[in-house]
Homo-oligomer: A and B are copies of this chain.
């Protein structure tokens, strides 16, 4: 059964967060004469992402938008490298918006437009509505709605995020397909009855990536990229 809607992981699946954040960090470092590897910095910043959402998922912290977690995590990583005194509060806030300017992988704009011809499309990301709306402008993505963490006030892979996305579209889970480059994201969606599509992004984490190099579950579809996924629907 062709899904009535496809919902998408965004960071890594649709956009190259590592290369794009490194570009923005590199520009900020050059402007201040800081000699540090921007890709390594992007990796360290990203390494704080999952731990920073864990208290929200566990109910120990009220929902706070990813924009705010990105800023907190930036300040953590800067401090750890002894760089926190080099960026004032406004500069930190500006650098944290790097996550609004992530470039799409080469297949994404055309693939998403093709998929949108046959189904509703929406992000189901941990990014906020504001972050996803601005990122869509930067990357040239046309969404039917912005779904994801903010409408559930929780973070993936908490079940409520996938359930809230289906409910917002007034569709049953089996009418919705979750698309991700991360097997864990698809495991959570499949457990709730959603259809699933895996797309490998082998250099999301750089040349030495060891995770998510192959599908680990019995997903509904496995596609080479979004253009291929559109053709298989």
**Which residues of A are interface residues toward B (Cβ below 8 A)?**
65, 67, 120, 122, 128-130, 132-134, 136-137, 142-147, 150-151, 168-171
Contact = CB atoms under 8 A, between A and B. Distances in A.
Contacts of A143: 145
24 contacts: A65-B170, A67-B170, A120-B133, A120-B137, A122-B133, A128-B168, A129-B147, A129-B151, A129-B168, A129-B169, A130-B169, A130-B170, A130-B171, A132-B145, A133-B144, A133-B145, A133-B169, A136-B144, A137-B144, A143-B145, A145-B145, A145-B146, A150-B168, A151-B151
Contacts of A130: 168-171
Provide the main secondary structure of the chain A interface: mixed
Q: Which residue among A130, A132, A136 has the maximum number of chain B CB atoms within 10 Å of its CB? A: A130
Contacts of A133: 120, 122, 144-145, 169
Contacts of A171: 130
A212 to B, nearest CB: 29
